[in-house]
Amino acid sequence: MHHELEVVADPDAVAGTAAAFVARLARACVQAHGRFTFAVSGGHTPWAMFARLARERVPWEHVAVFQVDERVAPDGDPDRNLTHLRESLGAAPAEVIAMPVNDTDLDAAAAAYGRSLPERLDLVHLGLGPDGHTASLVPRDPVLEVSDRLVALTAPYMGHQRMTLTYPALARAQQVLWRITGADKREPLSRLVAGDRSVPAGRVEAAASLVLADAAAGQGPARADAQSPASP
Ligand SMILES: O=C1O[C@H](COP(=O)(O)O)[C@@H](O)[C@H](O)[C@H]1O
């Protein structure tokens, strides 16, 4: 698929540009159809963007936040994406639809989460691992081949089993926003924008894709690719 790439100076500029993009899209979607459906990824780097987003003009009472992926770990665990998401959103009155990773029957829980997803996700926010993973679509895991479910479980990866949206769920995105920082992402970023399907991120399909990267990640071959202003 085609990715628009915008390279900005540093992680702070990525966070600010991404937050402004999300806020503009949220306002436009709420004005157009009364709701903004937003799926968010986890990891270590998104939270600066969410802290900035909390200061933007967003119609939070009309925002539904879904999770892109989650570690199977207890509520409040520092490894849970939800823990950081809730902290970052603070008092923003968004509806958060958490992945049910504490259910005893995780397969049934994943299927139930799949049923809760809307037909259309206005925005899916994704990160990129140094190994080319995105969401919890991790290299060599059978989850990469799941085509009949919207939500699935992985084998243990970096300390935890994960629940993740699958490629068919990500394909419900009207817009994907990738937020990529750091020199360790340079190689996978090059592969992503080149459409290299040998890395998990390269297999994501969606209606539109904007890649926001800092200079450390966006140097090299990726930098020569298309650049465009970040507006929805
Ligand atoms: O494990 C994960 O890592 C990726 C990348 O995280 P980042 O902090 O390096 O951007 C993330 O997108 C995914 O949601 C997460 O579970």
pLDDT digits (tens, 9 = 90+) for 67-125: 999 999 999 999 999 999 999 988 899 999 999 999 999 999 999 999 999 999 999 99
CA distance between the termini of the chain: 18
Mean of all residue pLDDT scores within the chain: 93
59: pLDDT strictly greater than 60 = yes
Average pLDDT of the residues in 5-11: 96
Distance from C-alpha of 132 to C-alpha of 24, rounded to nearest angstrom = 29
Query: Cβ distance 51 to 92 under 8 Å?
Result: no
30: pLDDT strictly greater than 80 = yes
The CA 45 to ligand 1 mean position distance, Å, reads: 7
Quick check: helix, strand or coil at residue 218? helix
**Burial of residue 105, with CB atoms counted within 10 A of its CB: 0-12 exposed, 13-18 middle, 19 or more buried:** exposed
More confident residue, 43 or 27: 27
Query: Cβ distance 124 to 175 under 8 Å?
Result: yes
The CA 81 to ligand 1 mean position distance, Å, reads: 9
pLDDT of residue 232: 54
Residue 190: CB within 6 Å of ligand 1? no
The CA 31 to ligand 1 mean position distance, Å, reads: 31
Percentage of residues in the chain with pLDDT exceeding 90?
A: 89
Average pLDDT of the residues in 145-174: 97
Among protein residues, the one whose CA lies closest to atom 1 of ligand 1: 43
Residue 154: CB within 6 Å of ligand 1? no
For the full predicted model, state whether its pTM sits above 0.95. Answer: no
Residue boundaries of the structural domains of the chain: 4-224
Residue 69: CB within 6 Å of ligand 1? yes
16: pLDDT strictly greater than 80 = yes
Distance from C-alpha of 181 to C-alpha of 9, rounded to nearest angstrom = 10
Per DSSP, what are the bridge partners of residue 39?
66, 124
The CA 32 to ligand 1 mean position distance, Å, reads: 31
146: pLDDT strictly greater than 90 = yes
226: pLDDT strictly greater than 60 = no
Residue 45: CB within 6 Å of ligand 1? yes
Residue 41: CB within 6 Å of ligand 1? yes
Ligand 1, pocket-test mutation among 70, 84, 136, 214, most atoms within 8 A of CB = 136
The domain made up of 4-224 is a member of CATH 3.40.190.10: no
Average pLDDT of the residues in 45-72: 94
pLDDT of residue 220: 53
230: pLDDT strictly greater than 70 = no
Residue 218: CB within 6 Å of ligand 1? no
